[in-house]
């Protein structure tokens, strides 16, 4: 069903739109985590560029979704009212600033990662507001959607940071604690989000979110935390290997959650007639 009083699945955004939220969120999260972790030198440059590449990949996915890709510049025409326009502007500023920061970090200038990190947070914020603006879709308009999307992106970024741990080797207890806290915060936000949506969504949307929730809580929370704990008691190369698996699990679970939110839980609430017109009867708004 595409129109009527019963809830129906939105069809405007598909896997390509989901790819924008997955790639853009994870890439932005990686940029922020790189700054928070205080990574320096070549590792900081590579992580920053990897984050920018993921954001670009996400934007490339949504560009493919356009019916007329050559008109993509039209997205910049409504900054006063459109969060999609603001997202595009944030991305346009993020890329040159990120590349310049990477060049500076490569040259030995410390502290430059904070500016692209701030812009990355603005980018993710705009993504969250885009979903919140879809008032007809219950799963998206929920106020907790915004902090959930930001928290998920940061947890994904931390997961990608640990996925690349065998390469850059900059782990440590403090960074492991940061990773664990972000994963737990994401789980707490998810549980609160689901409580607020209880009894308000279509049956199929609830089932899709329940499946994604199990993946998030088990594969994206319990498994990474267990691996991090084991890694703290291990030594040598096993620390990096366990951290990489934990990071992969956290990142994949977050990506699956976003994919589900966009493509499977985006049910419109439908509509209801408060007054049913009857032939020959006088209608009154106070009836």
Residues 136 and 268 sit within 8 Å (Cβ to Cβ): yes
pTM of the model as a whole: 0.89
Residue 198, pLDDT score: 87
Residue 86, pLDDT score: 93
Residues 124 and 149 sit within 8 Å (Cβ to Cβ): yes
CATH code for residues 8-268: 1.20.1630.10
Identify which of 47, 27, 79, 65 has the alpha carbon closest to the alpha carbon of residue 258: 27
Residue 107, pLDDT score: 81
Q: Where are the domains of the chain?
A: 8-268
Residue 111, pLDDT score: 82
Name the stretches of the chain with pLDDT < 50: 1, 287
Residue 200, pLDDT score: 84
Residue 287, pLDDT score: 43
| pLDDT tens-digit map of 82-111 | 899 999 999 999 999 999 999 998 887 878
């Amino acid at each position: 069903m595409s129109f009527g009083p019963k809830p129906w699945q939105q069809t405007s955004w598909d896997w390509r739109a989901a790819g924008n939220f997955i790639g853009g969120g994870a890439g932005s999260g990686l940029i922020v985590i790189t700054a928070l972790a205080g990574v320096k030198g070549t590792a900081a440059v590579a992580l920053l560029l990897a984050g920018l590449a993921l954001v670009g990949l996400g934007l490339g996915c949504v560009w493919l979704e356009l019916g007329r890709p050559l008109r993509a510049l039209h997205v910049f025409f409504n900054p006063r009212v459109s969060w999609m326009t603001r997202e595009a502007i944030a991305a346009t500023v993020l890329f040159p600033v990120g590349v310049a920061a990477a060049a500076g970090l490569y040259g030995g200038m410390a502290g430059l990662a904070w500016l692209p990190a701030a812009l990355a947070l603005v980018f993710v914020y705009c993504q969250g507001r885009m979903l919140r603006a879809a008032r007809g879709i219950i799963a998206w308009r929920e106020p907790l959607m915004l902090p959930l999307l930001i928290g998920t992106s940061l947890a994904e970024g931390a997961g990608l940071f640990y996925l690349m741990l065998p390469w850059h080797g900059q782990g440590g207890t403090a960074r492991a604690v940061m990773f664990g806290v972000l994963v737990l915060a994401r789980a707490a936000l998810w549980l609160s989000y689901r409580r607020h949506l209880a009894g308000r969504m279509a049956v199929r949307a609830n089932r899709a979110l329940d499946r994604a929730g199990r993946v998030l809580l088990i594969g994206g929370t319990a498994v990474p935390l267990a691996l991090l704990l084991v890694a703290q008691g291990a030594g040598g190369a096993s620390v990096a290997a366990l951290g990489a698996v934990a990071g992969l699990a956290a990142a994949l679970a977050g990506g699956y959650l976003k994919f589900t939110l966009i493509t499977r839980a985006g049910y419109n609430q439908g509509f209801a007639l408060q007054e049913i017109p009857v032939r020959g009867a006088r209608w009154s708004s106070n009836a």
